[in-house]
Chains A and B, each alone.
Chain A
Amino acid sequence: MESVQAEQRRTDIGPPKYDQFLHPVIKKNYGKWKYHEIVKPGVLVHVSDTGDKIYTVRMGSPRLINVDTIRMVCDLADKYCDGYLRFTSRHNVEFLLADQSKIDPLINEIEANGYPVGGTGKSITNIVHTQGWVHCHTPATDASGIVKAVMDELYDYFKTMKLPAKLRIALACCLNMCGAVHCSDIAILGVHRRPPKILPNLNKLCEIPTTVAACPTGAIAPAVVDGVQTVEVNEEKCMFCGNCYTMCPAMPLANSLNDGVSIWVGGKVSNARHAPMFSKLAIPYLPNNPPRWPEVVNAVKNIVEVYAKDAKKYERVGEWIERIGWPRFFSMTGIEFTKYHIDDYRFAATTFNTSTHFTL
């Protein structure tokens, strides 16, 4: 290991100030933007009160990228954008250009490198997702692999703007949900379906009272097995949330046969027209079928296509379903409605239909 003593150890400096990373045109027109237009899929122009313009070219990224890819992106930013770029909250790269004539050469080079340009307006942009088997200890499925397989299938929706409204997909590989999947047009959520195993060394790894208290349904109780302090799980009460495993490593839930994926629909975070909404259960379980999860890909694609055909302009998935009603959502998509769709956790009754407003 080389010595770094020449450099001073500093703490609590915080992030660098953002203004040093702003394109000169952005700096000059900061807070003065008047309007924007989508020039074509993947390209925005923002126009300032001063008449200045800044162009944005949006590039899709797999989120997990290596330093050479970042350097490739940097080379493009140097060549076309005076070195200025940004990333979006959905993992896309945005190149910022002052010169309109450089847009097409930049797009050509991005695409020649194997990355798509798009994700603007009424499109499906990048899937916000988590770590999965790449880097997490609690996942019920992989993240990057499903995202790749789904985006391969929906690629055309990234490159075009032909949907009724924007459609946001998110994936979380377990119920901890690192990311906003619970308010997405379509959410892909990894689920466990079997109670935790109890490893024999539990008493050495975990505080038993904390472990017992970790269970939201009270399914875990202290126990003595072969004279050793441990816990037992009332399997009927377990809803496979995995909180016990977070608190106690001796209670793993991962199960190669039974872990899988659930699909949720109709959430949003924007306030446009309708208030923000949670996503609701569409499909309780699909198997983990790596490397390409065909069942999940087909399920997502089916929902997208039914929505694309039937929704009105500007209607997000949740608004569309609210208009047509859940019975029609299930009949149009051909998704089976089961007892799992009917809530039985806290405040379940608030989700029951108390009207005669429904289609038959």
Chain B
Amino acid sequence: MANETKKTSTPLLDELEKGKWPSFVKEIKKMADKNPRAKDLLGQLEQSYKDKVTHWKHGGLVGVRGYGGGVIGRYSDSPDKFPNVAHFHTIRINQPSGWFYTSKALREICDVWEQHGSGLTNMHGSTGDLVLLGTSTDNLEPIFTKLTNKGWDLGGSGSVLRTPSCCAGPARCEFACYDTLDLTYDLTQAYQDVLHRPQFPYKWKFKMSGCPNDCVASVARADMSIIGIWKGDIQVDQEAVRAYAKSGVDVQSEICDLCPTKCMSWDGKDLKIVNKWCNKCMHCINAMPKALRPGKERGAAILIGAKAPILQGAQMSSVLVPFMKMEPPYKELKDLVEKIWDFWGEYGKNRERIGELIQRVGMGQFLEALEIEPKPQMVANPRTNPFIFYEEYFEEEGEQK
């Protein structure tokens, strides 16, 4: 592709080069000097800043052979003005667990991308993928082959398992109640087929958070949120609590008074915890990580059904399994997942997320289909309306059905 060196005039975007926060306009401009795709992106974006509307059209039919996801088709509505972004497809690369990289690995991706695309990326996309921003269809297969030969694969898009993602987990966090990196890798590998080949009614997202701080926002975003928790007593180092107190932490007002279950007391010497009242909110552990640690028996809570507002309103995930051990090969979890996918595949309508399906059929029916016992942990409170679908009743003869 010929390099065009003529500068694009961008008076509006230039305003976004000012200020202290690093500028995405500078990022695009640096590439625009040597990459015609980036140059036309800059031009079209300036046009949008002028017109106050987007100049991208609906995606279409585009991808690599055999896959139904991983590439988002994108087309300019002004291809005559901006021919180098007439086709400007996004490639999603499945990021490594916890977004850990080496410089060597990143450089390899940069080299492929500089040769075959705009040279612009998102580090990272909202779902977690490493996003390559903008190339044409003829580059897709070469990019795919080169990336897979370096050990990378595409992430998900469309009605598939979306690229699972997780927090830093045990790699760099003392709160991790299970190995989020390993579970993410394991599930991603185990379910490659449904990640690349659309077989679901709609998207499915897994997000693994190692503790109730939920650093990957799984409760807001994942169809299945796997959040690390523990059973039993918080581990306390009383000496370290006293050290925090000495260093200025007001243990009474900053720790005990903010505990949602009021399960702690402090007499100036010892922090006493009534562990059976603790709801594992993490506040005390967050505030005094040197002194307090999650209990020793660890696993995860499985929550289900989060989604953004389209269409019936936003939902957060809710508790499905209050506690499950999370150890390889994760058979109990996979059995559950596959049962849910079967149910969803059978009864889900086109574009119906699992959370919406559960709303439609009722959580009670869903639990029964999955053979999961109802538990009080599943509700904020029991129902307040009396409209119960009773299924048991007495026959005339007095026999219970």
Q: Do A and B bind each other?
A: yes
| B-binding residues in A (CB < 8 A) | 1-2, 4, 7-18, 20-22, 26, 30-31, 33-37, 46, 54, 56, 60-71, 73-75, 77-78, 83-89, 91, 93, 96, 114-116, 128, 130-139, 142, 144-145, 148-149, 151-152, 155, 158, 172, 175-180, 182-183, 216, 241-243, 246, 249, 254-257, 259, 267, 269-274, 276, 278, 288, 290-292, 313-314, 345-347
Complex Cα–Cα for A11 and B65 (A): 9
8 nearest CB pairs, A to B: A152-B19, A74-B103, A271-B212, A177-B308, A151-B21, A133-B48, A18-B97, A31-B170
Cβ–Cβ < 8 Å partners of A131 in chain B: 122
Contact B308 A176 (CB under 8 A): yes
Given A7-B146, A137-B58, A175-B309, A15 and B28 contact (CB-CB distance below 8 Å): no
Whether the Cβ atoms of A133 and B171 lie closer than 8 Å is no
* Chief secondary structure at chain A's binding surface: loop
Contact A86 B99 (CB under 8 A): yes
Q: From known contacts A64-B28, A292-B15, infer whether A21 and B121 are also in contact, taking CB-CB under 8 Å.
A: no
List chain B residues, Cβ under 8 A from A273.
Answer: 258-260, 281, 283
| A269 near B148: Cβ-Cβ < 8 Å | no
Residues of chain A with a CB closer than 8 A to B13's CB:
291
B105 to A, closest residue via Cβ: A21
Complex contact B49–A290 (CB within 8 A): yes
Indicate if B6 sits at the interface (CB-CB under 8 A): no
Q: Chain B contacts of A130 at CB under 8 A?
A: 126
Contacts of A84 in B (CB 8 A): 100-103
List 7 extra interface pairs beyond A67-B31, A74-B103, A84-B103, CB under 8 A.
Answer: A7-B146, A16-B152, A33-B172, A70-B107, A77-B102, A135-B133, A288-B52
Scan B161-197; emit 1 where CB is below 8 A from any A CB, else 0.
0000101101111101001011001001100110110
Task: Tell me how many residue pairs across A and B have CB atoms closer than 8 Å.
Answer: 359
| Residue ID in chain A nearest B85 by CB atoms | A135
Q: A21-B96, A288-B52 are contacts. A314–B283 as well, Cβ < 8 Å?
A: yes
Cβ contacts under 8 Å, B120 to chain A: 64-67
User: Is B30 in the interface zone, CB < 8 Å from A?
Assistant: yes
In the complex formed, the residue of A with least CB distance to B196 is A12
**In the assembled complex, B94 has its CB within 8 A of some CB on chain A:** yes
Whether B90 and A135, one on each chain, are in contact in the complex, defined by CB atoms closer than 8 angstroms, is yes
CB contact under 8 A between A176 and B94, given known A18-B181, A145-B16, A256-B51: no
Please pick, from A13, A36, A132, the residue contacting B151 in the complex, using a CB distance under 8 A: A13
Q: Would B52 and A256 count as touching, CB distance under 8 A?
A: yes
Q: Establish whether residues B214 and A270, one from each chain, have CB atoms under 8 Å apart when the complex forms.
A: yes
| Residues on B with beta carbons closer than 8 Å to the beta carbon of A61 | 22, 123
Within 8 A of A (CB), among B8-58: 12-13, 15-16, 18-28, 30-31, 38, 41, 45, 48-49, 51-58
Find chain A residues with CB under 8 A from B98 CB.
18, 86
CB of A119, distance to nearest CB on chain B (Å): 11
CB distance from B224 to the nearest CB of A (A): 15
- Taking CB as reference atom, which chain B residue is nearest A313? B254
**Residue of A10, A87, A114, A179 contacting most chain B CB atoms (<10 Å):** A87
- Contact residue among A18, A64, A291 (Cβ-Cβ distance under 8 Å from B12): A291
- Are A10 and B148 within 8 A (Cβ)? yes
Are B27's CB and A64's CB within 8 A? yes
How far is it, in angstroms, between the C-alpha of A182 and the C-alpha of B282 when the chains are bound?
A: 22
Which residues of chain A are near B308, meaning CB under 8 Å? 172, 175-178, 182
Distance in angstroms from B205 CB to nearest chain A CB is: 11
One of B144, B167, B311 near A89 (C-beta < 8 A): B167
Expressed in whole angstroms, the Cα–Cα distance for A59 and B348 within the complex equals 43
Query: What are the interface flags for B149-166 relative to A under an 8 Å C-beta threshold, 1 for contact and 0 otherwise?
Result: 101110000000000010
Is the pair A7, B52 in contact by a Cβ cutoff of 8 Å? no
Q: Which of B66, B95, B179 sits near A31, CB closer than 8 Å?
A: B179
Chain B residues within 8 Å of A15, by CB: 94-97, 152-153, 185, 188
Asked if B328 is at the interface of the complex by the 8 Å CB criterion, the answer is: no
Q: How far is the CA of A116 from the CA of B94 in the complex (A)?
A: 27
A-B contact pairs, 17 of them (CB 8 A): A2-B142, A7-B149, A8-B145, A18-B171, A34-B290, A54-B172, A67-B113, A71-B106, A89-B216, A134-B24, A145-B49, A155-B20, A182-B309, A256-B53, A272-B286, A276-B220, A290-B49
Q: Collect the chain B residues with CB atoms within 8 Å of residue A35's CB.
A: 174, 289-290, 293
